[in-house]
Amino acid sequence: MFVSRRDSGQLEIASDLPNGRPERELIHFKDYSLGLRPHCGPFLVKTNYYKMAKTREQKSAHLNELQDIAKNSQSVVFVSFDKLPVKDETSLRSTLTKNSVNYKVVKKTLLKKAFAESAIQGDMPELKGMVAVAYGNELIAPSREVYAFQKELAEKLQIVGGVFEGKYMTQAEMMSIATIPSTPVLYAQLLSMFNAPIQSFVSVLHQYAEKKEA
């Protein structure tokens, strides 16, 4: 028997077998598979062992990232999407980034596992279809910014729940949070409320002054 390396990178084992016509069979090793083919002799091919190891490493890294999101984010929005065009997803990511919100497409199995190991209270809402998470250190921004796109892409993207102040939220609860105005808008509304009585009072004084002059 001798071993030679092919141009393709395979290791080939050749041997003189008694009958000269080996039967088809495959013997599995940790890193290689040994095959016997008629007229070709035995050969070794590398299995996907290293590919599988790399996949496990990637899953472990994704799981750690999701655990960090669950632990450190002030607010997390679960987003369900279907057939979302690339241009719309690119626009969504760009807008979220400008508002300090992160966006990541995730596998539901890893998401559930990571969040199950967190201290979040309540039950995770049902997640249908393909899922992404929008998260950040601002309580309202993730849900508000995703909701803005949902109004335009209702059939392709929607909020299905989330996490707010350490508690799981239903779809309806996250939608309510999403409609809370931003801080600048709230300030403007409060200022308008404060100014309204003053403006009315000034108007009354002005009318009184005009009558007195007449």
The DSSP bridge pattern shows strands 75-81 and 157-164 to be antiparallel
Grouping H, G, I as helix, E, B as strand and the rest as coil, residue 78 is strand
Ranges under pLDDT 50 in the chain = 1-17, 21-30, 49-50, 186, 201-202, 204-205, 208
Give the pLDDT score at 57: 85
- Collect all residues with Cβ–Cβ distance below 8 Å to 10 and sequence separation of at least 6: 43, 44, 45, 46
Q: Where in the chain is the domain with CATH 3.30.70.1730?
A: 61-180
Name the strand (E) or helix (H) holding 150: helix 141-150
pLDDT digits 0-9 by tens, 4-56: 444 444 444 444 445 554 444 444 444 555 555 555 555 555 555 445 555 88
Superfamily the domain 61-180 falls into: Ribosomal protein L10, N-terminal RNA-binding domain (3.30.70.1730)
pTM of the model: 0.63
Grouping H, G, I as helix, E, B as strand and the rest as coil, residue 57 is helix
Largest CA distance in the chain: 129
User: Counting every residue, how long is the chain?
Assistant: 214
Give the pLDDT score at 58: 87
CA dist., res. 148 & res. 152, Å (int): 7
